Structure formats: structure tokens, C-alpha cells
Amino acid sequence: MRIDRISTSSPRPDSQTWVDASIPRKPLLDWRELVINGLHYSGTLHLARRLSKSHEIPPGGGWLWPRFRRVQNPKFVILCYHGIGESGNPLIAAPTREGFEAQMRFLRRNYRIVSLEDVCRDLSGSSNVEPGVAITFDDGYRSAYTIAFPILQKYRLPATIYLTAESVETGQVAWYDRVFLAISVAPAGEFQLDLESPWVFHLNSSEDRLRTALQIVDRLRALPNSTRREYCALLERKIGLAHHAVSDLILTWDQIHTMQHAGIAFGSHTLTHPVVSQLAPAELERELADSKLLLEERLGVRVTDFAFPFGKASDCGSAALNMLSRCGYRSAVTTVQGVNTPHVNRFELRRLQVGCDVSLARLAFDLNQAFLRVEDLPALNPSPVDSAVEQLERSPRTVECSAGEPDA
């Protein structure tokens, strides 16, 4: 896809990486996938999985000649799903029903499956160091009820679904899904949109449309919330997005209550799915506090768990951490990959995203890798005081050296 003109404002550091990583690409010969499949079907991963339940490789240990030690702390991998079979995004395929069931069957047979409540409790202090896996879903797509829920019941698996509260109330998908829906029905050929300066896209293939939608969403993520809403409205008026195109994709309250009575837990994914780090203080409080109150009113129980929209470090921001605590949340999950130990901030829990291209062998490999290797995970959004302390701790302590310019 060619973009003839783009905004001259500075992109976010991980902007192009996020766009490129979101476009599925399957090489004709994927050697890494072949090796992973060989390890899985030969039984090697099964042996590694048994080992990871009692032993781990400490930081700095290599894979070739690893040095093992007994597991010292509770460890949890939190899986992140969105839609199963379908979602609010017509341009990206979701995991299939068959693939999802195979993964759930594998998890039930091979791991200790825990609820998010178990994760929070055990991270605060537990003698049980057997690795645990928690299952979560973002956004509240209807397929969580129609497809995932019967499978979760079949294998008796707990799960947490993070709801975008306003979407459930209105029955319509959030703004970023509306961008994908709009671009999916836009006329072929040249398409221009003014995002602070003119952007000209060429929609001549399905990949063109996907990259265009990702570029637009990525640009809108970096704007203040009020500005982002204006541009979203402009895009929908320009294309003429039909009302029915954005409906019937989100869970209803009746479906949510049915799952709740069967043991599925629910958390907040904000009111409108904004980029939390771009919110003014009043907007931040509204998205975190009002979504919590609305969900508690509809569910009749306390809502104490939160999921950051988009969920990368630059999307979260340090201001949200104090607000989450003040609003009465006990945890918040990101989409930053990693295994959770007692050393991880409860409002910066890591997750492993499971997309349509994650095979059963790949999931088994990723879980083994996460549980076997211990990594030192720094804070995603350290406070200024924490950053200063960390910098001092890493600085060489010598009498002769005078203070120089700080690192950029």
C-alpha cells in the first residue's frame, strides 16, 4: 500500500512496529514453526513442561548449557483472547472454534488453570509454586458467549472477560472496531482522510485495507481523546457507515448474566476504549470509575479487575496506576508479554496474546519458555521517584567522576 502524504507530527516510538506486527504474514517455509512443531510432536516439550513445574533457569542462564534451580516463587501466565471465530474486526481473522477448543483441552490436561482471583491472591503470598495459567478475553465480543463459553464449560475452565461498558450498553462496537468496519466497506481506489494533515491511501487489496485501518487507528491512539472522537465521526460520515454494521457483535447483559451465574468473572475495559495515557485527569477518572460503577450496578457484584485498552506501555501511563488504586481496583492487565511473579506490579500484569496464527504447538512452546526462564521485568511506567532510584542504582559509584549530562 502506498501513502502519498502523511502527517508530519512525530509518531510514537513503537508505531510502525505495532502496525507491521498486526499484519499476518506466513512465510512459505517457516523454519521456526517447523522446529516448534518437531519439539511438540516428538514429546520434547512435554518433558520440558514437566521440568518447568519444579525447576527454572535463573536470569542470565543460557539455553545451550542451562543452570537449573528449584522454582522459588508463584508464576502465572495470563492468556489474552479477543474474539473466537469472529470479532468486531472484519479485516483480521480470529482463532477458530476448533483451534480454541484444542487449546483449552491442552491447557486442562497439562496445567493448573486458575481464576484471576487466584492469581491476585497467590501473588500476594502463597507456598504453591506450581505454574498457573489464567484465561482472559478483552472487549466483550459476542463470540465469547456463543463459541467460547460452551467450550469453557465443557472443560470446566474459569475465565475473566473485560467489558467495554458503553459498548455493552449501546450494543455497538467501540471506536477502533468502527474504523476497521468503515475501511472494510470503503470504495476501492484512492481514499483521503484529513488527520491534522491530508493522508491519501490506496485501497486496492485486503492487505491495503488492513494496513490503512491500522495506520488510522495508530494515529488516532496518539491524539487527545476529544480530538480522536472528532476524527472518528469524520471518518464515519465520509464513508457512511451503516448502523447495522456496528451492531450484534457485542455481548448483551442477558448473555453476561448467564455466564456470570456459571462462574465466569467480569472486569472493566473502560467505558469507551480510549488510550488511557492520552486522557486528561477528569476523563481518566470517568473511564475508570464510571465503568466500574456501571458494571457493578448491572452485575450486582464488586468489579475489581481492569484491562488497559491496547495495553502497551505507552498506552497505559503512570497516572492510571494511582487512579486504579483510588477507584478500588485490585489488578490491571496489559498486553505486554511476560510471566507474572510477586515482583510484578499488580496494576501492570503481563499477558500472552493468542491470535489466529498461534498453533497448539506454538502455545505449548511459548508457555514452556515463559515458565522455564526467569526474567527481571522492569516497571512499565515507573514513577519519577522510582526512575531516579533505579538510575542511581545502575550508575557507577566512583569518587573521581563528576556528574555529567543525563541520558536522553
pLDDT tens column, 70-84: 998 999 999 999 999
Model confidence at 378: pLDDT above 80:
yes
Are residues 182 and 92 part of one domain? Answer: no
Say what the pLDDT of residue 138 is: 97
Are residues 153 and 33 part of one domain? Answer: yes
CA atoms 380, 368, 343, 159: torsion sign? positive
Q: Tell me whether residue 400 is in a domain.
A: no
Distances (CA, A) of 78 to 17, 119, 311: 23, 9, 13
The residue from 236, 255, 280 where one domain ends is 236
Q: Tell me whether residue 57 is in a domain.
A: yes
CB-based contacts of 294, cutoff 8 Å, min separation 6 = 165, 169, 271
Structural domains in the chain (count): 2
What is the rounded average pLDDT of the residues 149-172?
97
The residue from 201, 217, 236 where one domain ends is 236
Q: Tell me whether residue 1 is in a domain.
A: no
Are residues 108 and 130 part of one domain? Answer: yes
Half-sphere exposure of residue 60: CA atoms within 13 angstroms, side-chain side: 0
Per residue in 19-65, pLDDT (tens digit) is 776 776 667 677 888 899 998 889 999 998 999 999 988 887 666 67
* Rounded distance between C-alpha atoms, residue 250 and residue 137, angstroms: 13
What is the rounded average pLDDT of the residues 321-339?
95
Q: Tell me whether residue 195 is in a domain.
A: yes
Are residues 34 and 75 part of one domain? Answer: yes
Are residues 321 and 274 part of one domain? Answer: yes
Say what the pLDDT of residue 65 is: 73
Q: Tell me whether residue 73 is in a domain.
A: yes
CB-based contacts of 22, cutoff 8 Å, min separation 6 = 92, 210, 214
Which range (1-5, 101-105, 180-184, 258-262) has the least confidence? Answer: 1-5
Can you tell me which residue has the cell 526467569? 374
* Rounded distance between C-alpha atoms, residue 368 and residue 56, angstroms: 10
Say what the pLDDT of residue 12 is: 52
Are residues 131 and 208 part of one domain? Answer: no
Domain that holds residue 207: 177-236
Distances (CA, A) of 229 to 175, 287, 377: 8, 15, 35
- Identify which has the larger pLDDT, 18 or 183: 183
Are residues 375 and 251 part of one domain? Answer: yes
Say what the pLDDT of residue 348 is: 96
Half-sphere exposure of residue 260: CA atoms within 13 angstroms, side-chain side: 19
Are residues 258 and 221 part of one domain? Answer: no
Residue by residue, DSSP assigns 60-107 as T--SSS---EE--S--EEEEEE--SS--S-TTSPPPPHHHHHHHHHHH
* Rounded distance between C-alpha atoms, residue 148 and residue 110, angstroms: 19
Is residue 311 helix, strand or coil?
coil
Are residues 86 and 52 part of one domain? Answer: yes
Which range (36-50, 216-230, 387-401) has the least confidence? Answer: 387-401
What grid cell was written down for 159?
475465565
Per residue in 343-363, pLDDT (tens digit) is 999 999 999 999 888 899 999
Q: Tell me whether residue 399 is in a domain.
A: no
Model confidence at 401: pLDDT above 90:
no
Model confidence at 298: pLDDT above 70:
yes
Report which of 134, 143, 34 is spatially closest to residue 99, judged by C-alpha positions.
Answer: 143
Angle separating helix axes 44-52 and 360-372, nearest 10 degrees: 40
Confidence of residue 387 (pLDDT cuts 50, 70, 90): very low
247: left (phi over 0), alpha (psi -120 to 50) or beta: beta
CB-based contacts of 353, cutoff 8 Å, min separation 6 = 80, 335, 337
Are residues 270 and 131 part of one domain? Answer: yes
CA atoms 291, 329, 132, 65: torsion sign? positive
* Rounded distance between C-alpha atoms, residue 269 and residue 288, angstroms: 8
Q: What is the pTM of this model?
A: 0.88
Model confidence at 7: pLDDT above 90:
no
Say what the pLDDT of residue 32 is: 86
From the centroid of its chain, how far is CA 400? 47
- Identify which has the larger pLDDT, 166 or 129: 166
% of the chain exceeding 90 in pLDDT: 60
**Do 138 and 176 form a contact (C-beta atoms < 8 A)?**
no
* Rounded distance between C-alpha atoms, residue 408 and residue 401, angstroms: 19
CB atoms near residue 282 (< 10 Å): 8
Are residues 101 and 223 part of one domain? Answer: no
Say what the pLDDT of residue 21 is: 67
Say what the pLDDT of residue 284 is: 96
Q: Tell me whether residue 343 is in a domain.
A: yes
371: CATH: 3.20.20.370
Per residue in 189-198, pLDDT (tens digit) is 999 888 878 8
Report which of 177, 189, 168, 167 is spatially closest to residue 236, judged by C-alpha positions.
Answer: 177
Q: Tell me whether residue 8 is in a domain.
A: no
* Rounded distance between C-alpha atoms, residue 307 and residue 350, angstroms: 11
- Identify which has the larger pLDDT, 282 or 4: 282
Say what the pLDDT of residue 14 is: 56
Say what the pLDDT of residue 90 is: 81
What is the rounded average pLDDT of the residues 360-377?
91
Can you tell me which residue has the cell 522510582? 386
Say what the pLDDT of residue 391 is: 40
**Do 149 and 242 form a contact (C-beta atoms < 8 A)?**
no
Are residues 162 and 76 part of one domain? Answer: yes
CB atoms near residue 73 (< 10 Å): 14
**Do 20 and 337 form a contact (C-beta atoms < 8 A)?**
no
* Rounded distance between C-alpha atoms, residue 271 and residue 290, angstroms: 7
What is the rounded average pLDDT of the residues 147-157?
98
